[in-house]
Structure formats: structure tokens, C-alpha cells
Amino acid sequence: MDTSLLELKGITKRFGSLFALKDVDFEISAGEAVGLVGNNGAGKSTLAKIITGNHQPTSGEIFWQGEKINISSIKEAREIGIEIVYQDQAVAPDVSVAENIFITREPMRSFGPISAIDWNKMKEESKKLTERLGLNVPCEQEIRFCSGGERQGVAIARAMYFDADLVILDEPTTAMSVKASEKILGFVRNLIEDGISIIYITHNLEQVYPVVKRFLLLNRGEKALDCSKSEIKKENLREKLVLAE
């Protein structure tokens, strides 16, 4: 494997006497796409929350571009280049597409001692980004009028604009129609083509298998498998998921 972008060593997370993760090692290179798979309760979301600073590991080490770090918040994760797109889209329904892309990080203009949001820049940049993603939705449109797939596209656009090096997608197609799921997978392919590293969390092998190049399988908080797609057929991976139940 090439030089790691992110490396986790011996990550353990306990909630009281319960182990959510136990001694998990994992690494991902720049531009690599990894499917993080497992059944409910396997530890997938807990691992994502540790990477993004929502949880602190009970023990273990995290390295970013070879340097040992402590990620204590989503804000810190974003500052180093890690974004997460949740299955509930994490968008504000009553404001526009453009405002959602820039939410909490709006471009500002200065007028002497006074600063104000640069609405023109926000709209222009949002339009460029949505067109680049193939997201056919007006930037002035309120999110509540967008479909589920479009909402996920807006959340992914946000990650792209702020130059994320690593994007974690947490069950991005849950409760989506087939058409919406295909659109989201198209957005994911755009991220990969841009050289952004992807951790795609799912239990749906049909969707993730064509997109990623490697799989990490968790079972009850422990690493059960870590291999490239060339080393395992979809049917064998599905069998391992079934056995993990």
C-alpha cells in the first residue's frame, strides 16, 4: 500500500463494560475507496465517529499523513480534511442549496470595519459545484423541495468544495429509491475521480461492490476481514456477512 493518509492502530472503544470496537487496525491511502461493511452493531458507525472526533477511543492511536494526532471534534476533523456525510443528509431544510453547501463556513466580504456574507460568491461557487457533480437543482431552491438523492448530493458537494482529503459516507443510500441510489453512486464516483479518499459505510454489497477497491469487514467490534476487491468475490463477501450474523 502507498503512504497512508489515515492510519488507525489498536483502536478500542468501550461503553462501560461493553466493547463497541476491539483492537482495530485500519489504514487508507490517498485516493483510495474502501467499503466498511458489517451488520448492525458491528462497530461501523462507532469507527466513523472516532475518525471524525465524535467519540474518543478508549485506547489506540490515530495517524494522519504519518503524524500522530488526536481528533477531538468534527471541527478539528474538518480542519485537517475529513468530512462525513450522514445517512440523514445532515442538511437544513428551510434554507437554500447554496446556503447548505456553505453552512457555518459562508464566504465573507469586508466593507471597512463591517463584514457580511458574500451572497454572489456563494451562489456562483455553488452553481459550479452542482454542475460539476451533475446535480441538476437550482442553487436558490430550498432543500425541503429537493429529493432524498438531491439532498445527499448537496451534502457531498459541501465536502468537495472544502477540499476534503477523506470523505466518510455513512449508509448514503438508506431508504432511497433505486434511481436516487444510482445518482448518489454517481456522485461518489465523481469524488473518487477527483482523487478524494472514500470510506463507504454500508451493509448493501450490491451498491458498494462496483464502486470501491477494498473492503474492511467488522464483526461485533472486531476486524474480521481486510482485503482488496481483487482478492474476494462479491458472493464470498456476502457469505462472510451472513456468517457474521
Return the CATH number at 102.
3.40.50.300
**How much is the average pLDDT of 163-178?**
82
| pLDDT of the residue at 56 | 95
pLDDT bucket at 215, cuts 50 / 70 / 90: very high
146 pLDDT above the threshold of 80: yes
Q: Which residue has the higher pLDDT, 177 or 68?
A: 68
pLDDT bucket at 88, cuts 50 / 70 / 90: low
pLDDT bucket at 175, cuts 50 / 70 / 90: low
Q: Which residue has the higher pLDDT, 174 or 144?
A: 144
* pTM, two decimal places: 0.83
Q: Residue 70 contacts by C-beta under 8 Å, 6 or more apart in sequence?
A: 56, 62
What total of structural domains would you count in the chain? Answer: 1
What's the rounded Cα separation, in Å, for the pair 57 and 163? 26
Domain range spanning residue 198?
4-244
185 pLDDT above the threshold of 70: yes
Amino acid at 169: L
21 pLDDT above the threshold of 50: yes
pLDDT bucket at 164, cuts 50 / 70 / 90: confident
Mean confidence (pLDDT) of the chain = 88
Report the interhelical angle of 178-193 vs 119-133 (nearest 10°): 100
**How much is the average pLDDT of 178-201?**
85
| pLDDT of the residue at 90 | 66
Burial class (CB in 10 A: 0-12, 13-18, 19+), 161: middle
Counting Cα atoms < 13 Å in the Cβ hemisphere of 142 gives 5
| pLDDT of the residue at 188 | 84
Residues 100-116: b if buried by 16+ CB within 10 A, e if exposed: bbbeeeeeeeeeeeeee
Indicate if the alpha-carbon torsion angle 188, 190, 193, 197 is positive or negative.
negative
**How much is the average pLDDT of 186-210?**
87
**How much is the average pLDDT of 3-21?**
94
Percent of the residues in the chain that have a pLDDT greater than 90, as a whole number = 49
pLDDT bucket at 1, cuts 50 / 70 / 90: very low
